[in-house]
Amino acid sequence: MSSTNRTVEREAAPPPRWTPARIAVWAAVAVVGAAAWGVVALSRGEEISAAWLIFAALASYAIGYRFYARFISYRVLRVDDTRATPAERINNGTDFHPTDRRVLYGHHFAAIAGAGPLVGPVLAAQMGYLPGTLWIIIGVIFAGAVQDMVVLFFSMRRNGRSLGQMAREEIGPVGGVAALVAVLAIMIILLAVLAMVVVNALADSPWGSFSLIMTIPIALFMGCYLRYLRPGRVIETSLIGVVLLLAAIVAGGWVAADPFWSEVFLFTHNELTIGLVVYGFVASVLPVWLLLAPRDYLSTFMKVGVVALLAVSIIVSMPVLRLPAFTDFAFNGEGPVFAGALFPFVFITIACGALSGFHALISSGTTPKLIEKESQVRMIGYGSMLTESFVAVMALITACVIDPGVYFAMNMPAGALGDSVTSAAAAVNQLGFTVSPETLQSTADSIEESSVLARTGGAPTFALGAAQIFSSLFGGQAMMAFWYHFAVMFEALFILTTVDAGTRVGRFMLQDTLGNVYKPMRDITWKPGLYLTSALVVAGWGYFLWAGVNDPLGGINQLFPLFGIANQLLAAIALAVCTTLLIKSGRARYAWITLIPLVWDAVVTLTASYQKVFSTDPAIGFFAQRARYAEALAAGETSLGTAQTVEQMEKVVVNTTVDGVLSILFALLIIVVLADACRVWVKALRAGGSLPTSEEPYQRSTLWAPSGLIPTKEEREIAAARSGEGAAAS
């Protein structure tokens, strides 16, 4: 305590001096990075080791973090360590509290990284490994991590205001409303898409269904244990939970092998959909301590553990990438996983891991209220996002190490594959990838599943690749099935946590909005309001889930682009807020830092929306699709493409109408936000380059803490001096 009595002398850390050793280290990093990029980008025809992808990524991250992020924090944002952060000023013992930077980094990473970075890259792998790799690494350095850090900084300067509040205050009411609508829309689509991933992974899989269902009693047990037996012992409880979880996965194998129990836990797509909807509703109205909190601990534990395990396994086993750098689908837009060419669709398919607007909600939520020193935004905002990007690179690797023919058989819509391994192998061969029916069957046998066909949604593909990598190190072929179900369970566990938490967040937003019309709604403990709003949110994502699961054209194929567009729409709002703040605070000459990613994001999202709305290619344009099916129905036809009945054709017409209208809505929202932001920029520039913002006034800090992960020699000396002084004073 007493060591905090002295004020801080420095405003910003002086740039470290360039000693010969430092120059040598950074030159080596640059050389390794360049060599790795050379191999990744230029090899054609031969299979390369995943190690090159890892080296290219890590070297690029190091250079981006050391040079670009440092430039942004000291030159552009001008972080000031003599200024007290909200955590120091307000310090109320609960949500505002100066938190150790390493702890906060862990918190922030756990909050931003979920199933997203594991899904997008797997789907984008249909174009080869290179488009995804390039976008994940370049995108994170220049767009995603910049957005996260800059939003975190501006929110921190405003006592942790939310993105919506900043949009309203800095841009105007129109921007504020657009942000609110965008957040609610993305939440609904996100929950539907993620729930669909779970449905596709668990349908007809007694092993997977059993293990996932077991997580509910495990979480309930953990909740009661924490509540009544050992309050506050989170790590101990989580460890017990993880042991039970592993036991549930092992037991799943026995369930799948047993003729009776495997029938009990065999669910169809529609049964799982109903189960998830009911679960989503019940979970979101139960008290947090009973289900959500313990589940959250468990999934955070698993997340950190599996990410670390995967990183070590890839680096040790160095698997070979079997997918080529580019497939033809990158250019002809006829990919079976999602339609459309490389530009713009890779950039919306991979959101989490490269640029994810959703993160702006976390960076303007709990994290800015806990940060200890302004200069730590680099490590926490930029650093956490780099880590998520690395997770995305690893997910891409898992998709690329499996047999390309198996990859396509797993990720094509069921309608295109037919019912048997023979028809599926024929369909994959049509695409130009060879796979034998025997390979498809033996792959299914190796993971003890009845089939791997049309397991769309990314999770099963990730799980298969991860199982290959893990089992090459631990347990060999005998452990394949265990590792596969371990990975499926790991991803499904995340998603259930997101479904529960997301439904709650949506419910709170809805209660708040409806509270404007009918007062009691705003009282979040009022039960009828609670049930009504929860039901509305669940009905929202439940509709899209049901429609997607039963979509003859494949739900992931149809809905994933919408999710990507919604996420990038949120990123556009966040980047527009950042650019506005840079201009209003007199830093127009540095506004390109967020303006370039904003322009890129807007071009990508609007092009994608344009194609989804206006493309005359029925594989891409929702309305072209609609017209094709409507005309066929009018002409009295009873089947078209993958839709085998009139009923299915009518489904296509309804779904494409809804999806098309949503695409239009998202595009309009972006245009409105950008136009409104431009208005404010012009106003600020006309006013001589600055306008008042809602920044909190300066207050001098009395705290001291290192800036980066590892304290510098100078920082260690200051720390030692201060603690010595503190000991002397007390």
Binding site for other proteins (CB under 8 A): 91-94, 97, 99-100, 102-103, 106-107, 110-116, 190, 194, 226-227, 231-235, 238, 287-289, 292-293, 296-297, 300, 351-352, 356, 358-359, 361-362, 365-366, 497-498, 501-502, 504-505, 508, 524-525, 567
Contacts of 707 (CB under 8 A, 6+ apart): 13, 81, 101, 373, 375, 376, 378, 379, 715
Of 261 and 508, nearer to other proteins (C-beta) is: 508
Task: Kindly state the smallest distance separating residue 551's Cβ from other proteins, in Å.
Answer: 21
Task: Kindly state the smallest distance separating residue 362's Cβ from other proteins, in Å.
Answer: 5
Task: Kindly state the smallest distance separating residue 184's Cβ from other proteins, in Å.
Answer: 13
Of 13 and 112, nearer to other proteins (C-beta) is: 112
Task: Kindly state the smallest distance separating residue 349's Cβ from other proteins, in Å.
Answer: 13
Task: Kindly state the smallest distance separating residue 690's Cβ from other proteins, in Å.
Answer: 31
Tally Cβ neighbours within 10 Å of residue 665: 15
In this structure, are residues 255 and 262 in contact, taking their beta carbons and an 8 Å threshold? yes
| Complete DSSP assignment for 18-87 | --HHHHHHHHHHHHHHHHHHHHHHH--SS--BHHHHHHHHHHHHHHIIIIIIHHIIIIIS---TTBPPHH
Of 80 and 88, nearer to other proteins (C-beta) is: 88
Enumerate the β-bridge partners of residue 320. 49
Distance in angstroms (rounded) separating the CA atoms of residues 347 and 604: 7
Distance in angstroms (rounded) separating the CA atoms of residues 254 and 241: 20
Of 483 and 666, nearer to other proteins (C-beta) is: 666
Enumerate the β-bridge partners of residue 127. none
Task: Kindly state the smallest distance separating residue 178's Cβ from other proteins, in Å.
Answer: 19
Say what the alpha-carbon torsion angle 569, 62, 473, 299 is, to the nearest 10 degrees. Answer: -40
Of 468 and 567, nearer to other proteins (C-beta) is: 567
Eight-state DSSP code of residue 531: H
Of 471 and 511, nearer to other proteins (C-beta) is: 511
Task: Kindly state the smallest distance separating residue 227's Cβ from other proteins, in Å.
Answer: 7
Q: Is the dihedral of CA 412, 416, 417, 423 positive or negative?
A: negative
Eight-state DSSP code of residue 319: P
In this structure, are residues 590 and 75 in contact, taking their beta carbons and an 8 Å threshold? yes
Task: Kindly state the smallest distance separating residue 25's Cβ from other proteins, in Å.
Answer: 23
Of 193 and 583, nearer to other proteins (C-beta) is: 193
Task: Kindly state the smallest distance separating residue 235's Cβ from other proteins, in Å.
Answer: 5
Of 359 and 626, nearer to other proteins (C-beta) is: 359
Closest by Cα among 457, 537, 546 to 273: 546
Distance in angstroms (rounded) separating the CA atoms of residues 135 and 356: 12
Tokens of 28: 């080596």
Task: Kindly state the smallest distance separating residue 113's Cβ from other proteins, in Å.
Answer: 7
Of 61 and 358, nearer to other proteins (C-beta) is: 358
Contacts of 585 (CB under 8 A, 6+ apart): 690, 693, 695
Of 82 and 162, nearer to other proteins (C-beta) is: 162
Helix pair angle (269-285, 527-549), 10° resolution = 160
Of 222 and 417, nearer to other proteins (C-beta) is: 222
Task: Kindly state the smallest distance separating residue 381's Cβ from other proteins, in Å.
Answer: 14
CA dist 455 → 132, 299, 462, 587 (Å): 21, 23, 11, 49
Distance in angstroms (rounded) separating the CA atoms of residues 280 and 302: 21
